[in-house]
Chains A and B, each alone.
Chain A
Amino acid sequence: MSENTKEFWRWKEYNWHDERVDPKDAETISAGVDVGSVSSQAVVMIDGKLYAYSNMRTGSDSPDSARKAMSWALENTGLALDDIHYTVGTGYGRVNVPFANRAITEIACHARGGNLMYGSTVRTILDMGGQDCKAIHCDEKGKVTNFLMNDKCAAGTGRGMEVFADLLAVSIEEVGELSLDVDEEPPPVSSTCVVFAKSEASSLLREGWSKKRVLAAYCSAMAHRVVSLLERIGVEKDFAITGGIAKNSGVVTRLERELNLISLKSKYDTQVAGALGAALFAKTLVEKQRKKVAQ
């Protein structure tokens, strides 16, 4: 692709499965599909353990995105859709997961998934998604106790970061590291609105600011914006960040600095929290169903 038409916002899509596990021995195979406004994930769990997942961009058709994410997660596993005992759909397109047995809100799924990813001590989960940002409080079982979300405005969302990656012609995966490579922290971009922040960034570049410095100013503005959302609900320890932006060290570092609090890190992919929670719910639901049948 030429430099002009390259889509800098386009992050890598991927799938993974645990080759050490043989699904034939499985007692319960549960799945969660999170169809978000920007990305979709499918997670397959075997007896409550992560077995396979995929992460890809949501297309214009939600059912189609759900199907694609699922078949990609199952790729090379020897499993087919019919082998899954129970599937829960979540995310903004959750009612459009054609093969799901049930839909559960992404707030509940994030808390449940976060509980597995970060352990039972996590009390505040900040999910920084593609088109929204949620601050979730949960208890030691991963049950939601309170939440607050912004889904009206692109400031503080992954979509806003994509716009900036494109504007500055920097691959979205490199934004965080580059933004930290500055000698001195610049003042944050002052416009809240992404549209206005874009014009502001253009004039900063014209004034001679380096790309890295502009990225630093934007990451810091985004961190600040999200902190003000968090402060409305309060941050209880332990604290964790999920979603695509959790992979952006530029935003995470500045967020932690502003909160004066280090976020928990996980061996799980931060983008699968919702689908993982959905798969956990699926496991519980199918087990309940079996008990009923047995009675």
Chain B
Amino acid sequence: MTTAGIDMGSKFIKVLILKDGAVQGKAIETTGFEPAVSALKCLEQAAKESGIDISFIDHITSTGAGRKAAPNINSDITDVGAAAKGVAHLIPDARTVIDVGAEEGRGIKMEAGGKVIDIAVNEKCAAGAGAFAEAMSRALEVSLDEFGQLSLKSDKTIPMNAQCAVFAESEVVSLVHAKTPKQDIARAVHDAIASRIVSMVRRVGINKEVALVGGLSHNPGFVDALNRGLETQVVIPENPDYIGALGAAIAAGERSQ
């Protein structure tokens, strides 16, 4: 049986094709102004990579913010449901999923097999999301990649008083004026984001294994801060950007049976 998952993110669309549980191909496209057109292009690309004609796909399931706008779909699944299924497939022992993107953060509590029990979400405040790191790296005039690496060089904990990303920016400027090394500031910023995420995830409970997905899983400074905050090591699945698409493709398999 061949299935596909389409993750209609607000910035990128990801497609993953599964055949009898094995990944055949995947593709990523910028969402742009016409998500449906981009999604079709992305689907065709993934199908081409898999050597499968789209018409031979048994079931297509979409997920992500724009999932209702996806083309050729048979069903759709929520972001949370897809992330849980995707993680459970790659990390069977995972019971907590932390998903931190540019503009939101989620904590998911789940059972074996990826059945979601409880969730906590922040999509209202930049302080617990990637946008915070982005804004602070700009204030420090370093690239986001560099910013993540930089904080690993520091072993000094300096507290950030501001919770708000806007106020934190002024605080970072004062720290720069006070000649605080950039690496210590970078660490303080990642610690601040991690602490917001940890208190959010605590609402659903932190149970091992803890998986981390979403854009911030690529930021080593944040991962380090999160590990310290959680007092456990998070597990990052292979290709964390495709977790949603993978979960959707798995859901498609369950639904077409």
**A residues neighboring B (CB under 8 Å):** 60, 131, 152-154, 159-160, 163, 191-196, 199
A193 B125 Cβ-Cβ under 8 A: yes
Whole-angstrom distance from the CB of B204 to the nearest CB of chain A? 22
- Chain B residues contacting A60 (CB-CB under 8 Å) are 174, 177-178
- Chain A residues contacting B164 (CB-CB under 8 Å) are 152-154, 194
B177 A195 Cβ-Cβ under 8 A: no
Whole-angstrom distance from the CB of B48 to the nearest CB of chain A? 32
Additional A-B contact list (7), CB under 8 Å, known A153-B125, A192-B125: A60-B174, A60-B178, A152-B164, A154-B166, A193-B124, A193-B126, A195-B166
- CB contact list, B157-181 vs A, under 8 A: 163-167, 170, 174, 177-178
Residue of A nearest to B165 (CB): A195
B120 at interface by CB-CB < 8 Å? no
B103 A160 Cβ-Cβ under 8 A: no
Whole-angstrom distance from the CB of A114 to the nearest CB of chain B? 25
- Chain B residues contacting A193 (CB-CB under 8 Å) are 124-127, 165
- The 6 nearest A-B residue pairs measured at CB: A154-B166, A195-B126, A194-B166, A154-B164, A193-B126, A152-B163
B135 A159 Cβ-Cβ under 8 A: no
- Chain B residues contacting A159 (CB-CB under 8 Å) are 166-167, 170
Contact of B131 among A131, A154, A160, A196 (CB under 8 A): A196
- CB contact list, B174-227 vs A, under 8 A: 174, 177-178
B163 A195 Cβ-Cβ under 8 A: no
Residue of B nearest to A152 (CB): B163
B242 at interface by CB-CB < 8 Å? no
Expressed in whole angstroms, the Cα–Cα distance for A195 and B127 within the complex equals 9
Expressed in whole angstroms, the Cα–Cα distance for A60 and B174 within the complex equals 7
B132 at interface by CB-CB < 8 Å? yes
**Given the known A-B contacts A60-B174, A60-B177, A153-B125, are A195 and B167 also in contact in the complex, defined by CB atoms under 8 Å?**
no
Residue of B nearest to A132 (CB): B167
Whole-angstrom distance from the CB of B211 to the nearest CB of chain A? 26
A192 B124 Cβ-Cβ under 8 A: yes
Expressed in whole angstroms, the Cα–Cα distance for A192 and B123 within the complex equals 10
A131 B126 Cβ-Cβ under 8 A: no
Expressed in whole angstroms, the Cα–Cα distance for A153 and B125 within the complex equals 9
| Highest count of chain B CB atoms <10 Å: which of A131, A159, A192, A193 | A193
- Chain A residues contacting B167 (CB-CB under 8 Å) are 131, 154, 159
Chain A proximity mask over B107-128: 1 for CB below 8 Å, otherwise 0? 0000000000000000011110
**Given the known A-B contacts A193-B124, A195-B135, are A153 and B163 also in contact in the complex, defined by CB atoms under 8 Å?**
yes
Expressed in whole angstroms, the Cα–Cα distance for A152 and B135 within the complex equals 17
